[in-house]
Amino acid sequence: MKIQNRISNSSGIGHSGQSRAARFALCSCGEARARRGKAVATREDQSDQPQEFKIPEPLRIDQNDLCAALERAILSGGKTGNAAKKLLKVLQPHLLEEEEDLLQTLGLLVPLAQGKISAEMRSVPLKAEHLKSRMFKIMREHIAIIEASRNLAQVARAERKLKLAAFTEHLILRAWTDEVVFYPAAILIGEYLKLRFAERDQSLKV
């Protein structure tokens, strides 16, 4: 079963006219990702990326689960729904940018651990430098995401919808994991490839 189908089924969103209208009223993470991916593919003619640049499947599932949980909170309505919309506003662009700058780079961990280096990886050091230059902005985004997550949890508790906001604890942990594990790993991958390609280029000159 495809992941997107699994996520859609697990969201518990029905096919009533009200649910369809609510879904069209918001821009889901999946829909935004699809539009952004199509735009990038058209602009850069990269619709068929090398397999090693694919986002690791566990991280993709985790990303989809967070988005599905957030959409359920939005569709619940009330103050919880409004708080969830505010979280979506700061979280969605962050996740989409993270997929390109961070998660695709982490997809190189397995091939690099197997000693595989391809010419397509030459762009990674530059991507890692771009990631380093954005770290201050990323930290500020994390602060905004955590603040919106805590607000959602507080409002959901007041409306007795705490189960709909339970994912916020995982989201906060994910932001921390990004900062102390995933971002350093992506930057390290870029530095490693910079050294390896420099060695390769030097040997060709000799």
**Model confidence over 123-163: pLDDT tens digits?**
999 999 999 999 999 999 999 999 999 999 999 999 999 99
**Rounded to an integer, what is the distance from CA 184 to the centroid of its chain?**
16
Q: What pLDDT shows up at residue 42?
A: 44
Q: What pLDDT shows up at residue 203?
A: 76
Q: Is the sign of the CA dihedral 17, 162, 95, 181 positive or negative? A: negative
Distance CA 90, CA 145 (A): 6
Q: What pLDDT shows up at residue 154?
A: 97
- Mean pLDDT for the chain? 81
74, 121, 131, 56: which is closest to 98 by C-alpha? Answer: 131
| pTM, entire model | 0.75
Lowest mean pLDDT among 51-55, 92-96, 127-131, 163-167: 51-55
Distance CA 37, CA 28 (A): 14
In terms of DSSP H, where are the helices of 99-182?
104-106, 109-113, 124-133, 135-158, 167-177
Residue 28, CA distances (Å) to 4, 32, 122, 171, 198 in order: 12, 6, 33, 17, 42
User: What type of residue is 6?
Assistant: R
Lowest mean pLDDT among 3-12, 44-53, 72-81, 117-126: 3-12
**Model confidence over 57-76: pLDDT tens digits?**
999 999 999 999 999 999 99
Q: What integer is the mean pLDDT of 167-196?
A: 95
What percentage of the chain carries pLDDT values higher than 90? 65
**Model confidence over 14-46: pLDDT tens digits?**
434 444 433 333 445 655 555 555 544 444 444
Residue 124 phi, psi (nearest 5): -70, -45
Three-state helix/strand/coil letters over 160-192: CCHHHHCHHHHHHHHHHHHHHHHHHHHHHHHHH
Longest distance between any two alpha carbons in the chain, whole Å: 70
Taking 90 as the threshold, does the pLDDT of residue 200 lie above it? no
DSSP 53: G
The set of long-range contacts for 131-137, using a CB threshold of 8 Å and a minimum separation of 24, is: 131/101, 131/102, 131/105, 131/183, 131/186, 131/187, 131/190, 132/187, 134/101, 135/183
Domain extents in the chain: 3-205
Q: How confident is the model at residue 201 (pLDDT cuts 50, 70, 90)?
A: confident
Q: What pLDDT shows up at residue 15?
A: 39
